[in-house]
A and B are shown apart, each in its own frame.
Chain A
């Protein structure tokens, strides 16, 4: 007989209850929950029916789907066969053309308000949406319908959350993220370029466990993944504090894992759980490998964090260390610290008020990368 919950299926396939609880423990760790939550997660996964997920690709590079393929807890084969019913994904689904359209239409017709949507890639608004069409329909038309009647939408990666690289100056196609394309939809912003597979599965498991969507910051990013500053969790922080910096690629400091601040690392202005969760089964993350962070989960990072190899500006009268301390204080005292710090840092850097983020229109006032320093 068919089963409709994860534990029953896993037990059926010879996975022990012990392994299952280990998986739940791993999830709790990603979500930043204490071990007392493990039974709750386990209970949720044992009893919940498989939710339907439709994964829409717009102006994407498919890097977020590829990230999904790297998922380990659960693995992608468990995700697509056991945990979720992935009813639409252009990259993975067997059906094509008319039959693929039918798969999507069936969900929209029969599961209104009950399914989850994932969107990958930005949505172009210019030229009536003709810069991205699927089956003759513009992507803006598709996401408005799909996200409009979804239980919730996961915006996967920085293009879907904030517009990402297509929105970078001069935004040739009028690209925006899901929140701007579908005002009023419930959207969880899983930023990152691409999104970390661990954060995809953690967000899904969060909902299955608690029956609600995760708490988010002012930019719609879950706090469990984006609540802390990279710099504060960085394995090289002690070298920063000790004044031990990499000064040239391959120098002694670089080989010994010193701080990459002078090589342009954007960790002091970036919010994500890379230092703790890492990538590819916790093998590494950019700073561990020797390259600075590019703040890929930040809105407009392609414009505001470039040139990538130019160090973050050191505001007049404030040393790097004291800035870092102040920044750290703000972060620990407020969940919206990220936004405040970002704004403060930018104010200090530019000595002018940042313009409010443009919505559908490209930022015409922006004249190219900032060549500060």
Chain B
């Protein structure tokens, strides 16, 4: 029996450590640990709630925009604000663009090298790669000379002996199954996507001033003026640029990402039987059609699926969410066994792990900076698979079409979705669905401008003097990595408490009081490991969740007792 430690887990956001017990070539138990903590919610105490989104956005720079959006929604909910149409529509465009850029980066740059063997691509016949590419789609960069150039670029890199970011990869590992020609296709698109993603995020700069870390959200709306008669506002020129970017996004996703996904997945269909996880799925839904706070009128539906049962979708009730700390480096005053709702939570970070440097964590005790969120004490998977399953099961037309197309092309049934491969496929499926929504959002914006509606913020409630003395609220945003919720309490115009319960906290949480594993821990059970020295297969399942650790670690309840800062090392 071997205990495998993967630390750092690379090609994710942040610092993640996986420890796994392997017997007879399979994982029999696993522990997920986050090894970094900042305490942003403690920092938020006493601040102006209108500033909170700027702080919260820095929870994560990969998931830039998502915490900003959840934060303004939470404060707006607390203060009873209703944002104007323009603000809702521009936020929808920003969120949709974030999905597309983030998922493409994940597929090629964070997850791709788990499936694509770069070194094998050197053996490819570029002409054969070209004919494969041309059979998949009419994307223009598909000639033999293009693939020969990519191959030469990789060869030159290998010849220097300086492989840079590709050094010490698991190249040649028996779990790599793609023929050299498909590997070359993947490498070519790895590089192409790296250049392509810069273009789509220009929409964020147009509406949000810059990416990463946009700077035009406002509590009550957005600070991006709308006026077709001004050169300093969203005008016909901005609409044209966004329309062009949207078209390019749909093109890239439908002609490169989806065909690559299908081509690569067809060689890895065995991964439809690994990594199923806890079987419970939750999504808060996204893309509101009206301006009510936390509206249920959403383009992608809200809901919960339990025990993989697609026949029944349960409603989401935020009151049923609680966080536990039995295995997290925090204390609860009344004992660590019982979970606490975000509005009632408390925070006392207390590190009880080994003093660094260390070789192993004591996984019987507390072993992570992540808390353990549970919905009615159940472990929930969140993210693309949860969203796609809920949309599919609730009869969302486009979701049904795209899911059935993908299942049909891979010749598998819907049961294959509950797996590592299903998670990868779901991410691609929703990228296409969401990219296709962007032109609709832009048209909606054109519609409000045509009506002469230039309102961008509910300014009547901007001044703290108009606020109630005490208020609390929550804001949901189903972010690319899954269900994100912010909870805020406001007192005398300042933040009294703040908490974020984040997608990667749901997915990568340590065990709860009953010993139930978190979704990633559960999904690793049964994962084959051909060579414990090179645990490529563990990375595949972990990466299928697209972990984001900076997001995941946070602290509840800023009312907690003052933190004793230990003197510097």
Q: List 26 A-B contacts (CB under 8 A).
A: A52-B162, A93-B10, A94-B11, A95-B168, A96-B539, A100-B10, A126-B566, A127-B566, A128-B355, A136-B7, A136-B356, A137-B357, A141-B356, A141-B357, A172-B565, A174-B566, A193-B213, A249-B462, A250-B454, A255-B226, A280-B204, A280-B205, A289-B208, A289-B209, A290-B233, A307-B51
B148-186 interface code vs A (CB 8 A; 1 in, 0 out) = 010011001101101011111110000000000000000
Tell me the chain B residues, 502-557 only, with Cβ under 8 Å from chain A: 533-535, 539, 550, 555
Interface size class of B (residues with CB under 8 A): 35 or more
- A52 vs B160: C-alpha distance in the bound complex, in angstroms? 13
* Among candidates B5, B38, B153, residue contacting A97 with C-beta atoms closer than 8 Å: B5
Q: Does B390 contact A (CB under 8 A)?
A: no
User: Smallest distance from the beta carbon of B178 to chain A beta carbons, Å?
Assistant: 15
Q: Does B466 contact A (CB under 8 A)?
A: no
User: Smallest distance from the beta carbon of A101 to chain B beta carbons, Å?
Assistant: 8
Highest count of chain B CB atoms <10 Å: which of A100, A141, A256, A279: A279
Tell me the chain B residues, 21-62 only, with Cβ under 8 Å from chain A: 35-40, 42-43, 45-48, 50-51, 54-55, 58-62
Contacts of A174 in B (CB 8 A): 565-568
Taking a contact as CB atoms under 8 Å apart, the answer to whether B230 and A75 are in contact is no
Taking a contact as CB atoms under 8 Å apart, the answer to whether A96 and B209 are in contact is no
Taking a contact as CB atoms under 8 Å apart, the answer to whether A132 and B39 are in contact is no
* Among candidates A128, A193, A290, residue contacting B232 with C-beta atoms closer than 8 Å: A290
Taking a contact as CB atoms under 8 Å apart, the answer to whether A249 and B162 are in contact is no
- 8 pairs of A and B residues whose beta carbons are closest in the complex: A63-B61, A257-B232, A360-B568, A94-B169, A172-B39, A289-B209, A279-B210, A283-B205
User: Smallest distance from the beta carbon of B187 to chain A beta carbons, Å?
Assistant: 11
Contacts of A263 in B (CB 8 A): 223
Indicate whether A92 sits within 8 Å of B356 (C-beta atoms), given known contacts A99-B534, A193-B58, A362-B565.
Answer: no
Q: Does A171 contact B (CB under 8 A)?
A: yes
- A63 vs B349: C-alpha distance in the bound complex, in angstroms? 25
Contacts of B202 in A (CB 8 A): 280-281, 283
- A2 vs B156: C-alpha distance in the bound complex, in angstroms? 5
User: Smallest distance from the beta carbon of B486 to chain A beta carbons, Å?
Assistant: 16
Contacts of A232 in B (CB 8 A): none
- A129 vs B194: C-alpha distance in the bound complex, in angstroms? 34
Comparing A29-37, A161-169, A324-332, the segment that makes contact with chain B is A161-169
Comparing A80-88, A217-225, A314-322, A344-352, the segment that makes contact with chain B is A80-88
User: Smallest distance from the beta carbon of A318 to chain B beta carbons, Å?
Assistant: 26
Taking a contact as CB atoms under 8 Å apart, the answer to whether B15 and A132 are in contact is yes
Q: Does A233 contact B (CB under 8 A)?
A: no
Contacts of B38 in A (CB 8 A): 59, 122, 124, 131, 165-166, 172-173, 175
- A270 vs B546: C-alpha distance in the bound complex, in angstroms? 36
Comparing B74-82, B214-222, B262-270, B298-306, the segment that makes contact with chain A is B214-222
Main DSSP-derived SS at the B contact region: loop
Contacts of A169 in B (CB 8 A): 43
B85-108 interface code vs A (CB 8 A; 1 in, 0 out) = 000000000000000000001000
Contacts of A176 in B (CB 8 A): 568
* Among candidates B62, B459, B550, B569, residue contacting A140 with C-beta atoms closer than 8 Å: B569
* Among candidates B11, B46, B61, B369, residue contacting A66 with C-beta atoms closer than 8 Å: B61
- A138 vs B539: C-alpha distance in the bound complex, in angstroms? 23
Tell me the chain A residues, 268-326 only, with Cβ under 8 Å from chain B: 278-281, 283-286, 288-291, 294, 302, 306-310
- A4 vs B113: C-alpha distance in the bound complex, in angstroms? 25
Contacts of B152 in A (CB 8 A): 12
- A97 vs B206: C-alpha distance in the bound complex, in angstroms? 39
- A127 vs B38: C-alpha distance in the bound complex, in angstroms? 13
Taking a contact as CB atoms under 8 Å apart, the answer to whether A308 and B10 are in contact is no
Indicate whether A250 sits within 8 Å of B457 (C-beta atoms), given known contacts A70-B211, A133-B36, A135-B8.
Answer: yes
Q: Does B201 contact A (CB under 8 A)?
A: yes
Q: Does A103 contact B (CB under 8 A)?
A: yes
Q: Does B455 contact A (CB under 8 A)?
A: yes
Contacts of A280 in B (CB 8 A): 198, 201-202, 204-205, 210-211
Taking a contact as CB atoms under 8 Å apart, the answer to whether B113 and A172 are in contact is no
- Write the chain A residue with the least CB distance to B51: A308
